[in-house]
Every structure is written in C-alpha cells, then in structure tokens.
Amino acid sequence: MIESEYQISFEELKEILQLIEKVHGYDFNDYAEASLKRRVTHIMNKLKLNIFDLKHRLVNDTHFFALFLNQITVNVTEMFRDPGFYRSVRENVIPYLASYPHIKIWNAGCSSGEETYSFAITLKEEGILEKSFLYGTDINSEVLDKAKEGIYELKKIKEYSTNYLNSGGKSSLSDYYHSIYDAGIFQSELRKKTLFSIHNLASDSSFNEFQLVVCRNVLIYFNEHLRNRVLQLFTESLCHLGFLCLGSKETLRNPQLLEQYKVIDRRENIYQKIV
C-alpha cells in the first residue's frame, strides 16, 4: 500500500504554493489542484515531512527546493508517444513547413527530450532537418540536463521502436543513436539541431518567432486561467500560418483563441494560425 501518513487540505496546499511563490518566485497557484496535491503529499510521505517541516525546508534549504521542484513536476514521457500524432505531423504539417527557408520549432514542456528528438528524427526523414532548429524548454532543470545529453537507456529506446515504426518511420530507430553499454546516445547531427533551456510557461514571455509550437501533456496540469495564458503566449510566438500542435488530449476551445486558427487535425489537435 502507498504510504499516506501525511495529508494536507486544499487550504494547506494553497499556503505551501504561496510560500513557494514568495520565497522562490515560482508560481504554481494556477495548476490543476488534484494532481498537484497528490504530488506534494507524495513528497511529504516519501521524506517523512509533516507540513510544518515541509514549509521550514522550503524556506531555509535551497538545495531542498531544487529537489522539490524536480519532484512535483510530472516528467513522464516517451519517444513517438501517440504514433498517430506524428503521422499527422508528417502528412499535414511538414509539407507546409518545407516551403520555409528556416524553420524554428518550440517544444514547450519537453521534459527529458524524447519528444524533441522524435521531432528531429521526423524532420530528418522528411528532408528538412538541415534548415530546422528545435528549442526544447521546461521548468525542470534536471530533466533538461538529460535532454542536453541525449543519452537514454537502451532498453527504453528499444521499446520506442514500435512507436517509431507506427509513426511512419522510414528506417530503423537504431540508425539514429550509437550504443554505449546499456545506453544509447543520439547522433550529434540531431543534438546539434537542438537547444534545451529553462522556461517557465507560468511566468516567462515569448523568446522568438516560430513556425511550429509543440506542447503536449503540459496544459493538462494547468487550470483554465493559466491554460489560456499559455495558449495566448503560443499564439504570440507563432508566425502567420504557423502551426500549433497540442496532441490528442488537449483542445483549443477558447473561442477568442480558436478564431485565430484553422483546425488542421481535430483528433490530434493540430491548428494553423491564420491571423
């Protein structure tokens, strides 16, 4: 059974979040509550901290906050997760992107980079990696370090092979990495086309103009207010006729935002900015 000795109320959760904002400047107030509460109590139970101790550590121990930040974000990811999504990108987005002389892509909430490398491979196979550049951003510095290395467990990469082939992959995933013992490192050709850096969707502003913004499984953690803020940010960051890819679970449903886009794939939530 999961240890659940320490519990907090929603009010206590708010107190913790306000404390974090005051002391560390990170704003988690507009995250969806249920999952965040689960994360916080999970940390408390794992480290045997009651709310008093937790607050104390959050205020007085900088090292602890880094660990806390790393643990409350959900970083689960996969290469070519939802192969149908990548198929649609190949069919509906890439032919269009190909007409640009330079293609800039923002992968927001990229976690440890599996999604970013999946895109890089897709672009390479469609012959446009050469003129593309991918920016991967996340709030969690630890996963970004992993993304920068581009090294993953070989066992996991092998599991992604089926995803890759179902996504319309044209060769073999093993063509894109070298194995070193039980790890696989992605080719420098791919890595050199990526840049990973810290960016907080809850507070930071746009940092470039993009032809494509990909953000999947991140908006699910935000409440309606923050979600709209972030979608507004993406809209500002896209060039005219640029693409927004949200994936199968996150829909653009705010009417003010929706009227600025054309729906390209309703199932995979791929949109093209028309203003």
Ligand X SMILES: C[S@@+](CC[C@H](N)C(=O)[O-])C[C@H]1O[C@@H](n2cnc3c(N)ncnc32)[C@H](O)[C@@H]1O
Binding site for other proteins (CB under 8 A): 1-2, 4, 10, 32-35, 37-39, 74, 76, 217, 219-221, 224, 227, 249-251
- 76 is a site residue for ligand X (CB under 6 A): yes
- 77 is a site residue for ligand X (CB under 6 A): yes
- Judged by beta carbon distances under 5 to 8 A according to partner kind, the member of other proteins, ligand X, none in contact with residue 191 is none
- 238 is a site residue for ligand X (CB under 6 A): no
Which tokens in the block code for residue 72? 């409350």
Nearer to other proteins, 2 or 275 (CB): 2
- 109 is a site residue for ligand X (CB under 6 A): yes
Contacting range for ligand X; rule: CB under 6 A; set: 54-62, 98-106, 199-207, 248-256: 199-207
- 75 is a site residue for ligand X (CB under 6 A): yes
- The least CB distance from residue 261 to ligand X, in Å, is 20
- Judged by beta carbon distances under 5 to 8 A according to partner kind, the member of other proteins, ligand X, none in contact with residue 201 is ligand X
| CA separation for the pair 270, 230 (Å, rounded) | 16
For ligand X, the binding residues (CB under 6 A) are 73-78, 81, 109-111, 115, 138-140, 143, 199-202, 216-218, 221
